[in-house]
Structure 1
Amino acid sequence: MLSVQEAADILKVTPQQVRNLCREGKLRSERVGKSWIIDRGDLEEYCSSTSAGVAEDRLFYGLGIPKRTNKPIALSFFSGAMGMDIGLEQAGFQTLFASEIDNACRKTIVKNRPEIALVGDIRDFSPKSVREISGLSATDEIDLVVGGPPCQAFSTAGNRKGFEDERGNVFLSFIDMIIGLNPRYAVIENVRGLLSAPLKHRPHNQRGEGFPNLTVDELPGGALHEILNKLEAAGYALSFNLYNAANFGTPQQRERVVLICSRDGKRPPYLEPTNSEGGSFGLPKWKTFQEAVEGIGGNLECISFPEKRLKYYRLLKSGENWRNLPDELQREAMGKSYFSGGGKTGFLRRLHWDKPSPTLVTHPAMPATDLAHPEEDRPLSVQEYKRIQEFPDDWDIQGSILDKYKQIGNAVPVGLGLAIGKLIIKLLNGEKVQTFDGFSYSRYRNTSDKEWKMEFQATIKQFEKQKLLMPI
């Protein structure tokens, strides 16, 4: 006979996962006092009887098939710490399935939502096996598939290799997964760089005289062009925009592209804002950092700034940065960075009490992206990060303190997930969606699907005119 811990070691899962398998009758066992014992033969039978392709992930990542409710169902990919999924739940969805390869994120998911079926790399699964893991038949309707594939391949801060990057390939796998699962709606979230990233990257020293002309795939926006073509060919109508999360109640200026795909062939409307800068359109003003952290209690968990930076922070007030230092200290504080280009507003940056937070990053004490408390001489705490991203206070982020910052910093703000969920619920129910003509969804121009398509066609014509593009 095996103890719960011994069974967990064999299956490479947590003891709690084994207890849930025993409690739900998925693993034959006997209750002894407050614990369980498992016959080794029954454990081996459980492993061998689980259907091929599903067994490993049920055991290593999840807890089996989740129980269905009467709520609309969502399948979540690249789930992270589940910021998007919390928002969808608040809107009325039930998440049956999650996928995530990061160990700390998986622990967070299991800790907070042990009932959700959880797998790793989506490239290891087919649409059929995802349905099986989620407890869905081949004919069960899926209301929503949602995911934010890794964004580094499209980030303006990276090499921008697009789909030639390994992470870009995962993006294409996700598009194929959406098409294979055939949900009523699909939502894809990503960084602004997706709007201008190529499908294939050609180094600049391999362009021009002596080299072949560029293809459409190599143009700025070629990656998104390919995504749209694949989804539209599968029968989906699409809309997208660049959304500032502050317009949806998040106390943070964070801009993300959100694509909404509809299987019914009708172009989906844009998200409905709940807040606006300065209270325009009769909406409440953006939420501030002070509102976000009001009433925060307990022991705050945070890292520290090095003493050489604290020397300058002690001279700065709420909302200030290195430019507010005395002239003679600015060069000393910035060193070689003083002579670099750009605004450099992230250096020695204190948050403003009465404004939303800047975009949270995965580490609040990196020199160029400091996120310091408005008054205290420290970076933002994990608890403040959670408030800014709108995670419930009792949402248990697992891992080391740097793991926690990274998970929360990478998350979709809960308010943005809620706005997405509310829109899809309205579309599922055939309810009217309010439009806001002229609303500034972000600080950038020409970021909606209509404007982007016109701009992409103009780019094609420009390259054709200059005879730099291969015939289409």
Structure 2
Amino acid sequence: MKHTAIDLFCGAGGLSAGLEMAGFTVLAGNDLFEAAGKTFVQTHPHAKFISKPVEDLTVEELLNETGLKPGELTVLVGGPPCQAYSVYNHQRGMHDSRATLFKEYLRIVKGLRPEWIVMENVTGIYSIGGGEAVRKIKAELKALGYEVEDAVLKAEDYGVPQERRRVVFIGNRLGLPISHPGPTHGPDQAEPFTTIKDAIGDLPPIQNGEDPGKIPYLDKPATPYQALLRGNATTIVNHAAPKLGQVNINRLAHIPPGGSWRDIPFEMLPSGMKKAKRSDHTKRYGRMTWEGLSCTVLTKCDVHWGAYIHPEQDRAISVREAARLQAFPDSFEFAGSKTEQYVQVGNAVPPLLGKAIGDHLMRMLSVKNKAEAA
């Protein structure tokens, strides 16, 4: 039986890629971000990409593009833009128009009547409006006939070499039990955490600001993770580093692996940071360690924001290194400017987290299939 998916707010297609790894057929994706749409089209050739604001997307259009009838879609997935919910947005609140985009998702749920729904967002959604957004999501889905459960999933628990937290809502209208995937990686699991070296240790060295274009791999993959993400790729793309000014390069020279802004001589610190307490800004100007996990990959791997300095080379991580830390296959060639490429990577659901969700959905779907066969 073919299990189908449609991905709203799909971006470059990280969640779609994970669902496809789990055996789903992604029929369509929708997003407004043009560069992300180009990436999605290149990497999901069997899916239809619909480029427009979700407010303008109609149920009829989705049905026509996919050949489905209401009730036939297996799962509708999506992550409404998270900026309004993020702890990094100090102006967040239900008054932010982006905080109501989940209503558009609900409108499409009502029209498509998928068997299952999956929504993901940042953990800040729990505190916005005193939990108002979460209560509304669950109450409105219940009114449409869906029972929903939410949980915080940690990307590193599923093989992603990064500390990343996401709230995942899973629901169905079938009356089936709902649960979330259990951890597969970590000290108490069958597999250890995937380290930064496991993820990017095979990528060729590059200079600050360098963009070598398409280049060959230097060696065979050294870890199963590298082999998995290489797949059938024969060249490395998007291995381009941002250009840091000389003043920052001089600062980086003082930062050891695991170090941060505290290792920079006081007189070399940015003026604003000279006033900071030693307990503040713990990730700023952080240099990664080979055996550690990455901090959360954001839409701009700026050394001023977090630990985005390469473990050995005096530069910020490249787009491809950020993509590896997000568990994107090397076959993903990100379109657009370098800035747009970082945004696509940072906004995405890590494909391996998407795969864990997809695998778990498949297990829950098997309950229905067995019941129907009995």
TM-score of the two chains, using structure 1 as the length reference = 0.68
Matches within 5 A, 1:169-180: 169-180=100-111
**Whole-Å Cα distance in 1 between the matches of residues 8 and 175 of structure 2?**
23
SS of corresponding position for 2:240 = coil
Match of 2:202 in 1: 295
**Whole-Å Cα distance in 2 between the matches of residues 340 and 173 of structure 1?**
42
2:266 maps to which of 309, 330, 338: 330
SS of corresponding position for 2:258 = coil
Match of 1:130 in 2: 62
Q: Return closer, same or farther for 1:390/1:431 CA change in 2, 3 Å cut-off.
A: farther
Q: Return closer, same or farther for 1:160/1:270 CA change in 2, 3 Å cut-off.
A: farther
SS of corresponding position for 2:288 = coil
Matches within 5 A, 1:86-101: 86-101=17-32
For the aligned residue pairs, the C-alpha RMSD in angstroms reads 1.9
Matched letter for residue 401 of structure 1: K
**Whole-Å Cα distance in 2 between the matches of residues 338 and 275 of structure 1?**
39
Matches within 5 A, 1:66-77: 71-77=2-8
Matched letter for residue 260 of structure 2: N
8 Å contact from structure 2 (residues 70, 111) kept in 1: no
2:12 maps to which of 81, 99, 102: 81
Matched letter for residue 327 of structure 2: E
Matches within 5 A, 1:7-86: 71-86=2-17
8 Å contact from structure 1 (residues 83, 413) kept in 2: yes
**Whole-Å Cα distance in 2 between the matches of residues 169 and 293 of structure 1?**
38
Quote the offset at 1:294 in angstroms: 3.2
Matched letter for residue 312 of structure 1: R
Task: State the Cα deviation string for residues 281-338 of structure 1 (Å, max 9, x = none).
Answer: x43221100000132243731112221121121112211112234xxx2364142234
Number of equivalent positions: 335
Q: Does 1:222 align with 2:137?
A: no
8 Å contact from structure 1 (residues 305, 365) kept in 2: no
Quote the offset at 1:160 in angstroms: 4.5
Quote the offset at 1:415 in angstroms: 1.0
**Whole-Å Cα distance in 2 between the matches of residues 366 and 402 of structure 1?**
14
Match of 1:394 in 2: 331
Q: Does 1:269 align with 2:208?
A: no
8 Å contact from structure 2 (residues 26, 46) kept in 1: no
**Whole-Å Cα distance in 2 between the matches of residues 138 and 255 of structure 1?**
33
Match of 1:373 in 2: 310
Task: State the Cα deviation string for residues 98-155 of structure 1 (Å, max 9, x = none).
Answer: 001001001111222233111122211232331112111345x111100000001111
Rg (Cα) greater in structure: 1
**Mean Cα displacement is larger for which, 412-421 or 106-115?**
106-115
8 Å contact from structure 2 (residues 147, 172) kept in 1: yes
Quote the offset at 1:173 in angstroms: 1.0
2:149 maps to which of 232, 235, 239: 239
**Whole-Å Cα distance in 1 between the matches of residues 73 and 263 of structure 2?**
53
1:155 maps to which of 82, 86, 97: 86
Matches within 5 A, 1:335-354: 335-340=271-276, 343-354=280-291
**Mean Cα displacement is larger for which, 166-175 or 290-299?**
290-299
Match of 2:209 in 1: none
8 Å contact from structure 2 (residues 294, 307) kept in 1: no
Matches within 5 A, 1:249-260: 249-260=159-170
Higher relative contact order (CA 8 A, sep 6+): 2
8 Å contact from structure 2 (residues 116, 171) kept in 1: yes
**Whole-Å Cα distance in 1 between the matches of residues 346 and 14 of structure 2?**
10
Quote the offset at 1:371 in angstroms: 0.7
Task: State the Cα deviation string for residues 227-278 of structure 1 (Å, max 9, x = none).
Answer: 11101122211111111100010011111111111212344112121112xx
2:294 maps to which of 337, 349, 357: 357
SS of corresponding position for 2:84 = helix
**Whole-Å Cα distance in 1 between the matches of residues 293 and 285 of structure 2?**
17
SS of corresponding position for 2:293 = coil
Matched letter for residue 236 of structure 1: Y
Matched letter for residue 336 of structure 1: G
Q: Return closer, same or farther for 1:230/1:331 CA change in 2, 3 Å cut-off.
A: farther
8 Å contact from structure 1 (residues 322, 330) kept in 2: no
TM-score of the two chains, using structure 2 as the length reference = 0.85
Runs of 4 or more, structure 1, over 4 Å off, are none
Match of 1:314 in 2: 253
**Whole-Å Cα distance in 1 between the matches of residues 43 and 240 of structure 2?**
19
Q: Return closer, same or farther for 1:311/1:233 CA change in 2, 3 Å cut-off.
A: same
Match of 1:441 in 2: none
2:115 maps to which of 160, 171, 184: 184
8 Å contact from structure 1 (residues 360, 385) kept in 2: yes
Match of 1:409 in 2: 346
Matched letter for residue 191 of structure 2: P
Structure 2 unmatched runs, 5+: 205-214, 216-235, 370-374
**Whole-Å Cα distance in 2 between the matches of residues 147 and 249 of structure 1?**
22
8 Å contact from structure 1 (residues 86, 414) kept in 2: yes
> Which has a greater percent of helix?
1
SS of corresponding position for 2:128 = coil
**Whole-Å Cα distance in 1 between the matches of residues 192 and 151 of structure 2?**
21
8 Å contact from structure 2 (residues 257, 288) kept in 1: yes
